[in-house]
A and B are shown apart, each in its own frame.
Chain A
Amino acid sequence: MKAIAARRHHRFAPVVLLALALVLTGGLYAALAPSAEGAAAPTTDDVEAGRALFVANCATCHGVNAEGRDGNPTLIGVGAASVDFQVSTGRMPMQLEGPQAAAKPPQFDREEIDQLAAYVASLGPGPAVPSAEQVDPALGDPANGGAIFRTNCAMCHGAIGAGGALSEGKYAPALAQSTPTEIYTAMLTGPQSMPVFNDANITPEEKRDVIAYLEEQKNGSPGGTSLGSIGPVGEGIWIWVVGMGLLIASAVWIGAKSS
């Protein structure tokens, strides 16, 4: 102890302390944070906790027993997958009325989302949250996923999922920030204006291929900056702003003060 005290003014002391603090925090987080494997099958307690959360946060619109009211849909039979998608992307609880619920930072943590999902799943049979293996992009075939995406998804989400407009202010969101699980549950449950792609329509393996294709897009464009992947309109803006802008500036420079 004395040896340590003697070196407390050493110039590396702050660095060592910082490193120790970081290791401690990281270690505690790793030990205490709920892992995916740790989230075992929901218990009765989870369902009860989920019901309490539901009554406090969702019942105003969806009804005390999730039966739906005033044009808001019933949640009986939508399954855990739907709750997981809507709540973990922050779409529910809805912030304000609009053409469609916008994604925002989620209001609940992972445990609460699982509890809510367990409660809604207990109301009636519905699609479950996929397993980690089901959504693992490494197991999918991006080429097949690309073909499926072009045929089924690109007409709303754009060629590589940059998003697109729908009628009356609705839109298909960009998919760059979506996690594999969100992509899977979205296909499975068809949130907002999206149609349902059930397992007969696009098999679970094909869904994984789509996930692999979309994950591939996160590697960036081989041609340089992607310019938002919004197609020729973006390119047109850039040729006018950068191309013509630089060249007219050069022309002004070349033609400056000559006669």
Chain B
Amino acid sequence: MSTVNRAAGGTADYLDQRTGVGLAVKSFARKIFPDHWSFLLGEIALYSFVVLLISGVFLTMFFVPSMTLVTYDGPFAAMNGVEMSEAFASTLALSFEVTGGLLMRQIHHWAALLFMASIVTHMMRVFFTGAFRKPREINWLVGFVLMILGLAAGFSGYSLPDDVLSGNGLRITDGVVKSIPVVGSYMSYMIFGGEFPGEHIIPRLFTLHILVIPGLILALIGLHLFLVVLHKHTQYPGPGRTDRNVVGYPLFPVYVAKAGGFFFIVFGVIALMAGTMTINPVWNYGPYDPSPVGAGAQPDWYMLFLEGALRLMPGTGTEWVIAGYTLSLNVLIPAVIVPGLLFTALALYPFIEAWASGDKREHHVLDRPRNAPVRTASGVAILTAFFVLLVAGANDLVATHFALSLNDLSRLFRVLFFVAPVIAFVVTKRICLGLQRKDRELVLHGHETGRIVRFANGEYVEVHKPLDQYERWLRVNYDAHRPLELLPAEDERGVRRKGYRRDALRARVSRFFYEDRVEPVTPAELAAAQSHGEHDALGGAEHGDPTLLQAAANIKPEHGGNPAGEVVAGPRTPRH
């Protein structure tokens, strides 16, 4: 035994005797995780958060969260003699004086954009594969709260440099808070410590940004991962995979290597972007001053949908004055009510679907998106609404880059916001059902081979190659929920049944979800289809026409080495 091994073994033994850590490491190292690239999306979020922590610690060493006014005197000539807050001045110093400071700032900001992008992508994966079903509803909520916290972290950090662009964002926030009836003005005064912008907002956002929000995110990430370990990871449907097992590789060494390596890839991509692409050039925007606003003033992409909603809302006629109090529906609806509805729907979706299906079983095998048409269509519809708002938030850039009229674009997006999700829903649902029917066809009749066989009586058939059992399993093993049956309104004695109206609503929702469905192929259907095909193909062949036998013999290689005489046996299923 080498010295290194002896030293390692000795240390491990020392620790094990004192902490009993060996047991934990042993069981954890052997924990099995299924393998799929889409399971790494959440890891991108985790790793970009680690990058955020590392680069963020660096930034706090130099950033001064103060709104005290100073006059800039430094290496950036275009700011010399300009009055600015210490927050902005220290951001300039970070960018132009601190060694590696600009790179760190850009790493931090790109990592923040990536954090949100990967959270959203991960959430889409979980949604479209139905990974939120029992027992993972709670973890869906944890993830949802993490996304909201990510938005809060991004927003609070974005505002810290105290530049014109982020200051405009804060002004919009102030307007949104003030639009909340009754308490709005008081809340705005509380947040800003007086009239906007005041002198408190930067230090307050700083505390939230570097202490409260990351602390909460860290704690919830712990809970999120703990629940993943507790529930065990979901797996894609496939041969040998059931709700009672996990097919995959052990954490050690496979995933330790894969996940560890992936961390460096994520860090590398972020560093690559930060080293080559400017992000948030605050020196262009200038120190915050409430009077100027630049064209192309937009928030980071994850807040852009709010900007879009505000841009689309018509202003005239939506601001009501009631008994001397102003009700700003032009702000309240797009900035509070619409995102509130979208987010509530997203958070509650697992519970809505479980209620509609009445399914109380545990699910560890994922759905293929096509096998849950209404869920997939709802997700695409929500994403479409989100995307329309996103593009509407950039309507000025769309107008200039494609030489279109801003006013026409606004009108178009107003219509699209209501129409596009409906179209997306219908089209997606149709596509899902179509794909399911295609699966049925495949299972029943097999792959087309392109080989045409001519029978003695002149009939042509195309030979179909049956699916192997792995392919078939993937296509027949899914739940096609049926709508819940509604019990009659009155019992057998004619007495009105309690809870009937709630049941009726539930039945309606259930019908919406599951009325249109394609049932998986049953064994009986499969047997029928195959015998039916056999009848056609064999019947023709056995009449002993030499030409046909010759043709049939040509098919043999696909059939896996049957003797020539048995060419027609087995489940080959030509279609007629």
Q: Which residues of A contact B (CB under 8 A)?
A: 99, 142-147, 150-151, 154-160, 162-169, 171-172, 213, 216, 221-227, 229-233, 235-240, 242-244, 246-248, 250-256, 258-259
Contacts and interface: CB of A to CB of B under 8 A. Distances in A.
Question: Which 9 residue pairs of A and B lie closest in terms of their CB atoms, listed nearest first?
Answer: A164-B295, A236-B301, A255-B37, A223-B278, A165-B396, A169-B405, A165-B399, A154-B294, A251-B40
B89 to A, nearest CB: 13
B280 A232 contact: yes
17 contacts: A151-B291, A159-B285, A165-B399, A167-B407, A168-B405, A221-B284, A222-B278, A224-B276, A224-B277, A233-B304, A242-B277, A243-B113, A243-B270, A246-B269, A250-B262, A251-B38, A254-B37
A155 B165 CA distance: 11
B29 interface: no
Given A243-B269, A250-B269, 8 more contacts: A142-B77, A144-B81, A145-B78, A151-B291, A231-B297, A239-B113, A244-B117, A255-B39
A208 to B, nearest CB: 15
Given A163-B295, A244-B118, A254 B258 contact: yes
B352 to A, nearest CB: 29
B159 interface: no
A259 to B, nearest CB: 5
A254 B295 CA distance: 42
A96 B278 CA distance: 38
Contact of A143 (B82, B106, B266): B82
Contacts of A169: 399, 403-406, 408
Interface of B: 34-41, 44, 77-82, 95-96, 102, 106, 109-110, 113-114, 117-118, 121, 164-165, 247-249, 258, 261-262, 265-266, 269-270, 273, 275-281, 283-286, 289, 291-302, 304, 393-397, 399-400, 403-408
B280 A252 contact: no
B296 A164 contact: yes
Nearest to B300: A232
A26 B394 CA distance: 48
A195 to B, nearest CB: 15
Given A147-B286, A235-B301, A223 B294 contact: no
Nearest to B76: A222
Contacts of B114: 239, 243-244, 247
Given A150-B292, A251-B262, A221 B281 contact: yes
Given A233-B397, A236-B301, A167 B269 contact: no
Contact of B249 (A233, A246, A259): A259
Contacts of A233: 296, 298, 301, 304, 393-394, 397
A227 B299 CA distance: 16
A171 B296 CA distance: 12
B286 A146 contact: yes
Contacts of B265: 247, 250
A45 B110 CA distance: 62
Contacts of A227: 277-278
B78 A146 contact: yes
Contacts, number: 209
B238 to A, nearest CB: 8
B286 A159 contact: yes
Contacts of B270: 243
A169 B395 CA distance: 12
Contact of B117 (A160, A171, A240): A240
A143 B278 CA distance: 21
Nearest to B241: A259
Given A224-B277, A254-B37, A236 B95 contact: no
A256 B40 CA distance: 12
A229 B298 CA distance: 12
B280 A157 contact: no
Task: Specify which of A151, A223, A244, A255 lies most central, judged by the most chain B CB atoms within 10 Å of its CB.
Answer: A223
A178 to B, nearest CB: 16
A162 B296 contact: yes
Contacts of A259: 34-35, 247-249
B44 A247 contact: yes
A226 B293 contact: no
A206 to B, nearest CB: 14
B277 A151 contact: no
Contacts of B294: 150, 154-155, 158-159, 164, 231
B284 A222 contact: no
Contacts of B41: 248, 251
Given A225-B276, A238-B277, A252 B403 contact: no
A251 B37 contact: yes
B40 A235 contact: no
A68 to B, nearest CB: 26
A159 B117 contact: no
A225 B106 CA distance: 12
B400 A235 contact: no
Contacts of B34: 259
B151 to A, nearest CB: 14
A223 B36 contact: no
Nearest to B37: A255
Contacts of A159: 164-165, 284-286, 294, 296
A45 to B, nearest CB: 41
